[in-house]
Structure 1
Amino acid sequence: MAIKRIVANIGAQDVEKVRAFYTALFDLDVVMDFGWISTLASGFDAPVQISIASEGGSGTLVPDLSIEVDDVDAVHRRAQELGYAIEYGICDEPWGVRRFYLRDPAGKLLNVLAHGS
């Protein structure tokens, strides 16, 4: 058996507002939209991973989603420019990632990160 895809589903009353958040902050493309559901994609293949955790590391909450980007500082700047509240400031963690936390309009806690090189 091979896993072909894992999809994160975010429950939201205002699908349009949440879609706008992800397209503006992460440059995701709308690949399907029926009004009640909108699917976004990056156009890149990514490995399938599921993390199971008792905490988010460094004493933080376990995030609902972790989104790895190529330039976490640029996404952090964009989040600030768009007026999104940062819940855990950008920092270099001892396990080799640079990251920050923020919430999407549906209240999901996002861990935005880049692995060190």
Structure 2
Amino acid sequence: MTRLSHLFVHVSDLDRAKRFYVDDLGLAILMEETGYLRVGGADGFHMGLEQREPSQVGSVGIEIVIQVPDVDAAYQKLVERGHQFEAPPTDMPWGARHAWLKDPDGYPLSIYS
């Protein structure tokens, strides 16, 4: 069966990305090698982070979306850790509650529950 395995993202500072995605957002480390980190959650979808030169980082037209158990609690934790959001968590017409911010390399990111 064909399935989506993981998203692959180029980052300019792997240690900084690891702090954000693992320490701040709470994703689990699934694989770690020199210059590469794979993180994931409970459902099996993964994100590979590979360190690259700043000129190779960034992409228009993508948004990373991460489901959290409680978006309000995650929002508060991230704000306390110095992350800036576009706005506080908001109820969306499709039934989810979202808050948007950017990761350390400027990739748009949404947390929701």
Q: TM-score scaled to structure 2, two decimals?
A: 0.76
Comparing 24-33 with 7-16, which one deviates more in the overlay? 24-33
How far, CA to CA, are the matches of 2:93 and 2:107 in structure 1?
A: 25
SS in 2 for 1:10: strand
Q: Give the aligned partner of residue 108 of structure 2.
A: 109
Indicate if the aligned counterparts of 2:75 and 2:88 stay in contact, CA closer than 8 A: no
- The answer for unaligned runs of 5 or more in structure 1 is 48-61
Match for residue 27 of structure 1?
Answer: 26
Contact 2:27 2:39 in 1 (8 A): yes
Q: CA deviation at 1:12?
A: 0.7
Using a 3 Å threshold, how does the CA distance of structure 1 residues 78 and 21 change in structure 2: closer, same or farther? same
**Separation of aligned partners in 2, 1:46 and 1:33:** 17
| Equivalent pair of 2:90/2:99 in contact (CA under 8 Å) | yes
From the two aligned structures, give the one with the greater strand fraction: 2
Could you say what the CA RMSD is over the residues aligned between the two structures, in angstroms?
Answer: 1.8
In the alignment of these two chains, the number of paired residues is: 98
Q: Percent identity?
A: 27
Following TM superposition, the consecutive aligned residue runs of length 4 or more in structure 1 with deviations greater than 3 angstroms are none
- Partners of 2:87 and 2:98 lie apart in 1 by 8
What is the match of residue 81 of structure 1?
80
2-structure distance, mates of 1:107, 1:78: 19
Distance in 1 between the 2:85 and 2:30 partners?
28
Q: Deviations over 1:49-100 (max 9, x none)?
A: xxxxxxxxxxxxx651111112111110111010001123311112211110
Gaps of 5+ in 2: 46-60
CA contact (8 A) 1:29 1:41 kept: yes
